[in-house]
Structure 1
Amino acid sequence: MNAMNNSAGNGGASMNPPASPIIWGMPVALFWGYVAVALYMTGDGIEVAFLSKYVTGIGFSARQAGLLFTVYGATAAVASWLSGVLAEVYGPRRIMAIGTLWWVVCHVAFLSGGVMRHDFVLMLVFYGLRGFAYPLFFYAFFFWIVQRTPDHRLASAIGWVWSMFTIGYGIIASFLPSFTIPAIGFLPTLWMSLAWVGCGGLLAFLAIRDDAPAAIDSHEGRSLRHQLTEISRGLTLIVHNRDIALALVTRIICNLSLFGFPVVMPLFYTSAEGGFTMPQWLRIYGIFFLVQPFTNVMWGIVGDRIGWLRQMRWVGFVGCGIATLAFYYLPHAAPGNMVVAIFAALLFALTITSFVPMGAIFPMLAPEHKGAAVSVQNLGGGLANFAGPALATVLVAGYGTQGVVVTFASLYFLGAVLTCFIRLVQPRGVHAMDVASSAKAQAVRDGLDISHSDPSPTPAE
């Protein structure tokens, strides 16, 4: 089923306009939205690398600093679950605007009412409330992509948005404070993030020329009861759709090491056993992020060609299980060897980004409720954000870093097995290389898919 033939919801939603033209896997009409994501997520992530140090530096405990991030993660997880279906019910442009305004108001309150007054209660309240904002912006745009991209190119389009996320949140937001803090200080750097988020929000609101998927606009859609039904559908899908439930488990597993390793690996790498200094560790982990914008796009394009589940099973779960072990055992065998450690980091980045098609799989498993399906996918991401650090914290006390690594790797191998039980029919379509010749281009114009002997959707396996 093609995305452009699906309505924004079920039951009376407006028909979507035709899917946007695709260049290198990216919907052309949404180009400025991708740029907006990079700007917005830069502002959202600027404080991540130094906020805990700053908070302890102004008189609060490390435990209080950790509590800030814990509450923020909890609210972000809830908003991640709600955002997709809210975008389906009310329209993604509106939800992205709300996410921008919410972020700005809460960040101003966090800094002026909490940080500048050294009032931890207000800091906790407003930083926690700010956690609702970025998922509303990011995942509403994610839903917009799902609605505007032909199904057989969806992984490619999603690969691009994760690349923009990584460029903003993982790269610019990590390196920028290293220049601004020495120049202007911690607090002005925190205020500076307002400009990045504001520019991202304005760009998304003003520059995207594509019409957003229509909100549910029938009489039934306008009723509060129907809106609440759509919003709660994300949870009911887990109960009633076996494949969605299995996909949710695999979604949680796929990012365990991504979120869990920062708890234990800095300690291991900078210990006598690991043999690295803190600057060396930061460079190793920085290289891990630097390659992801490229590998995200690459795996999106490759997954559209070779099969989403096949790629995730072998490169993702099996590959990431091996990379997880290598990220610990290779430096353990060669302490202080940067070449070995960088190789392990690159292997880790190459395999963990192969999960890009995960975002395409969920809406294909419930095509009548794409917004709810995207919300379940987002919920899985939020739960991984909790489960990774929680498992690492519990296991490292009794079994050390090795126990954490072996457990994560075992769960990845379990995830590979689970993918064998997910029933997915991946849409197939004509690829860019297929339209190079005029004959094939004419076939496309005539509505024929000559890249397969059977024009009907084919299984991903």
Structure 2
Amino acid sequence: MEPWKRNLYSLWAVEFLAVLGMALVLPFLPFYIRELGAGDLEEVKRWSGLIYAAPFLLAVFTGPLWGWVGDRYGRRMMLIRAIFGFAATSFLMAFAQTVTQLFLFRLVQGGVAGFIAATLAIVATTTPREQMGYAMGILQTSLTTGGIIGPLVGGFLADLIGYRNIFFLTGGLGFLAGILVILLVQEDGKPGEKRKSLGLFSNYRFVFTSPILSTIFVASLLVQLAIMGIQPILSLFVESLWSKAENVSTMAGFVFGVTGFASLIAAPYWGKRGDRIGYRKTLIMTSLATGISYLPQGWATDVYQLLILRFVQGLFVGGILPALYTLTTLNAPDERRGGILGITRSGLLIGNAAGPISGGFLAASVGMRPIFYFTAALLILVTLGANRLLKDPPN
């Protein structure tokens, strides 16, 4: 097997295990917050937004730094650090006694983790240019597969063994992923060898003086602002539509997971289509269709309608981030690639942080259904901006 393919499939397994662990907690996190002492439903909504956002608040600042360090001293080393940091902080969350402690542990996790950016940097620097869209699409399926199985298993296990034990399982999966990196993932150059890399702040100048990269930064921010705005209230929305209170975590797991299942089916298709017709066109098609798919979710009157609509959403949403990642990679010089991926991904992380906070507070103020319309509007705005400002690189 070619070395780039061996790395790709090894990193797929690593990312799958880590994302699986992350996704285990999604269906029950608002209920865990309630158990830790949050008061009424409106307070649970606000805390849910803050705690969903917490890892991304610090990662916005540390992500570009870790990417730059990886460019200089080795991206594999940064991946090992990130995976074991994720595992350690997941264990700590099992011991949280208050909502504030849980928030702080999630905040620290964002600062020390960042394994998705590290895997992207390794794949981006070891994959042939003509296979880049395919590789990014395959890597995206690790996120979606973990996003399918994690909520389903996590929701079921939360009803079966309680919330705290899930965090121990999450930490164990992270530790296993770290062992796989040590055993299987390879990178050019000697471990610890200092490489040619330009300054951290020169990477920022490079991104924000490039019309394409700065557009990708803003598009990444808006996409995640839109999508993550739903996350903190989705389980509560399911609870409002589902009469069987004793199984609500399990049903919330299905609602989270069905989108990932559809995305798993579609992401490789969108990656190959991007290689064939261009990543700009792929981004425009998928962001527009995803935005439209959110509108009827706000009209859903039972869980089964919501399940069908979330499946349709997943068929398109899985094509958005691979297109953005590939456009970033092809517009970044090799010696800057990890740092630039870290900076453009920090736009995504700002959206990851601002989305849950704004979604939680807006839901507390105006209700849950308008959040779906807000999401649709932002994704349609991304479509218009990409159509006007982005272009595919030559060749």
Q: TM-score range by the shorter chain?
A: 0.7 to 0.9
Task: Assess, with a 3 A threshold, how the Cα gap between structure 1 residues 406 and 103 changes in structure 2: closer, same or farther.
Answer: closer
Instruction: Say yes or no: does 1:149 pair with 2:130.
Output: no
Moved more, 255-264 or 59-68: 59-68
CA apart distance, 1:58? 4.5
Look up the equivalent residue of 2:183 and give its one-letter code.
Answer: L
Report the equivalent of 1:348.
313
Tell me, yes or no, if the aligned pair for 1:237 and 1:372 is still in contact at 8 Å: no
Tell me, yes or no, if the aligned pair for 1:321 and 1:413 is still in contact at 8 Å: yes
Report the equivalent of 1:321.
291
2:107 is aligned, of 115, 119, 128, to 128
Tell me, yes or no, if the aligned pair for 1:33 and 1:208 is still in contact at 8 Å: yes
Map 1:12-27; keep pairs closer than 5 Å. Answer: 21=2, 27=5
Residue identity over aligned pairs, in percent, reads: 18
Structure number with the bigger relative contact order (C-alpha 8 A, sep ≥ 6) is 2
CA apart distance, 1:405? 3.8
Measure the CA separation in 2 of the matches of 1:359 and 1:305: 16
Look up the equivalent residue of 1:304 and give its one-letter code.
Answer: D
C-alpha RMSD of the superposition: 3.3
Look up the equivalent residue of 1:207 and give its one-letter code.
Answer: L
Map 1:271-282; keep pairs closer than 5 Å. Answer: 271=240
Measure the CA separation in 1 of the matches of 2:292 and 2:99: 42
Q: SS in structure 2 opposite 1:357?
A: helix
Tell me, yes or no, if the aligned pair for 2:20 and 2:149 is still in contact at 8 Å: yes
Measure the CA separation in 1 of the matches of 2:136 and 2:214: 21
CA apart distance, 1:276? 7.8
Map 1:279-298; keep pairs closer than 5 Å. Answer: 283-298=254-269
Report the equivalent of 1:433.
none
CA apart distance, 1:390? 4.1
Q: SS in structure 1 opposite 2:26?
A: coil
Structure number with bigger Rg: 1
More helix per residue: 1 or 2? 2
Q: SS in structure 1 opposite 2:27?
A: coil
CA apart distance, 1:289? 2.0
Instruction: Say yes or no: does 1:299 pair with 2:265.
Output: no
2:280 is aligned, of 301, 305, 309, to 309
Tell me, yes or no, if the aligned pair for 1:320 and 1:412 is still in contact at 8 Å: yes
CA apart distance, 1:206? 1.0
Instruction: Say yes or no: does 1:208 pair with 2:208.
Output: no
Task: Assess, with a 3 A threshold, how the Cα gap between structure 1 residues 294 and 215 changes in structure 2: closer, same or farther.
Answer: farther
CA apart distance, 1:305? 1.0
Report the equivalent of 1:16.
none
Task: Assess, with a 3 A threshold, how the Cα gap between structure 1 residues 413 and 179 changes in structure 2: closer, same or farther.
Answer: closer
Report the equivalent of 2:25.
47
Deviation digits for residues 98-148 of structure 1 (CA, Å, limit 9, x no counterpart) = 11332344344554xx53xx366655444321222331x221111000001
Tell me, yes or no, if the aligned pair for 2:263 and 2:316 is still in contact at 8 Å: no
2:80 is aligned, of 94, 97, 105, to 97
Tell me, yes or no, if the aligned pair for 1:327 and 1:348 is still in contact at 8 Å: no
- Unaligned ranges ≥5, structure 1: 1-19, 222-226, 428-456
Q: SS in structure 2 opposite 1:217?
A: coil
Map 1:19-418; keep pairs closer than 5 Å. Answer: 21=2, 27-59=5-37, 62=44, 67-111=50-94, 114-115=95-96, 118=97, 123-135=102-114, 137-168=115-146, 170-181=147-158, 184-209=161-186, 211=188, 217=194, 230-264=199-233, 271=240, 283-313=254-284, 315-329=285-299, 331=300, 335-336=301-302, 338=304, 340-355=305-320, 356-367=322-333, 369-393=336-360, 395-396=362-363, 403-418=370-385
CA apart distance, 1:210? 5.1
CA apart distance, 1:67? 4.5
Look up the equivalent residue of 2:326 and give its one-letter code.
Answer: A
